A and B are shown apart, each in its own frame.
Chain A
Amino acid sequence: MLKRALAIITLLIIGYWLAQGLTGVPFGQDRMLVGQYYLNNVIKQTGSVNAVTAIVVNYRGFDTLGEVTVLFIASTGVGALLWRRKKKRTARTEGSVVLTTGARLLVPFILLFGVYIFIHGHLTPGGGFPGGATIATAFLLLYMAFTQYEIPHGAFEKTEGVAGMSYVLVGLIGLALGGYFLYDWIWQQWHWGINDVGRLFSGGFIPIIYTLIAIKVGTELSGIIDNMLKEEVRE
C-alpha cells in the first residue's frame, strides 16, 4: 500500500514536470523549419506526393536502413533466445469452425491488402513497414487456425536475406551513378515517371525500396511468430 502511494506521488511529480515543460510548446502552431523545405521540394526532388514516405525512404534512407537492421537484429535475438535443439508445434486443439473457415477465406485478401499498402506507399498513408506487418498477420491467422501449419522456413529465410541485400545493392548503385549512398538514380538520373507524379509508376526508387522492406519485414515478423509459438520437445 505504501509502495503504491509512493508510486502515485512520484507519477504526479513527473506528470506536473512534463506538463510544465509542455506549456512552452503551444499546440497547433506552425514551427516548421526543415519540414517546410521538404514540403516545398518533395515532388521536384523525389517524385513522391506523400512527404512522410519521401522523408523515410529518400531523405533519410540511411536511417531506414539502420531501422531495418535493428528489426533484423531483434528477430535474430528472438531466434537465439528461443533456440532449442528440437522444436515442434505442440498445440492440440484446432481452431473453432469460425476461425478455420475465416482463415481460409481471409488469408488471400489480407495478403492482397498488404501488397496494396506497400505498393502505394508513395501515394497513400502506409508503406513497407505497415504492409509487411499486415502480411505477417495473415501467417499469424494461419498459425492460430491450424495446429499443423508451419511457414516454409528455408524459403522465408532466403527471401529475407535477398531482400536485405537488395536494399544495400540499390544504395550501392546510387553510389556508383550519383556519388553518394542511396542516391535516387531512377528519379534524378533516368527521370522515370516524371509525367506520372501522383500515379503508381512514379516516385523514383521509393516503391522498389518499400517493396523490399515489406518483404523483409513480413518474413521477419512471421519468423518471430513461428519462434514464439513453437515449444521444445524432448526425445
Chain B
Amino acid sequence: MISVYYFGAISLVLIGLYAVLVKKNVLKILIGLSIMESGVNLLLVSVGYIAGRSAPILSEGVGPNNAVDPIPQALVLTAIVIGVATTALALSAAIILYEKYGTLNIEEIRRLRG
C-alpha cells in the first residue's frame, strides 16, 4: 500500500493529464497542466517528509535532529516560480490564438490539428 499523500499526488497528476488528453478548450488544457504541476509538487514535498518531525525552521524545540528534509521544499519553491512563469507565457499564447482564430477550441484551430 502506498501512502495517502502519494495517492493524492498521483491522482492530481492523473486528473491533470486527463484534462490535457480529453479537453478541447486551450484554457482547460492549461488548467490541467497547472493541476499536474501541483501534483508533482505535492509528491516532492511528501517524499521529503519524515514522520513526527516539524518544519525546517530551527527555533526553540526544533533542533537539527527533529526537522524534515529542507531540500525538497527548496526545490519545490523553485518549481512553483517556474510554473508561474510558464503558465503566464502559455496564457499569453492563448490570448494570441483567440485573437487570430476567434476560438479556443483546438479542433477548430486549423494548423494545430495533429
A interface residues (Cβ-Cβ under 8 A, vs B): 3-4, 7-8, 10-11, 14-15, 18-19, 22-23, 25, 27-32, 34-36, 38-40, 42-43, 49-52, 54-56, 60, 63-64, 67, 70-71, 73-75, 77-78, 81-82, 123-125, 127, 129, 133, 198, 217, 221, 224, 227-228
Contacts and interface: CB of A to CB of B under 8 A. Distances in A.
A28 B21 CA distance: 33
Give the dominant DSSP class at B's interface: helix
Given A34-B71, A78-B92, A224-B88, A39 B81 contact: no
Contact of A125 (B48, B57, B80): B57
Interface in B50-101: 50-52, 55-59, 64-65, 67, 69-71, 73-74, 77-78, 80-82, 84-86, 88-89, 91-93, 95-96
A21 B92 CA distance: 36
Nearest to A6: B21
Given A35-B71, A127-B77, 10 more contacts: A7-B18, A15-B10, A15-B11, A28-B3, A39-B70, A40-B64, A49-B58, A51-B58, A55-B74, A228-B88
Contacts, number: 140
Contacts of B50: 28-32
Given A74-B88, A124-B57, A10 B96 contact: no
Nearest to A123: B57
B14 A50 contact: no
B2 A7 contact: no
A129 B77 CA distance: 8
Contacts of B77: 52, 56, 127, 129
Given A29-B50, A52-B70, A10 B3 contact: no
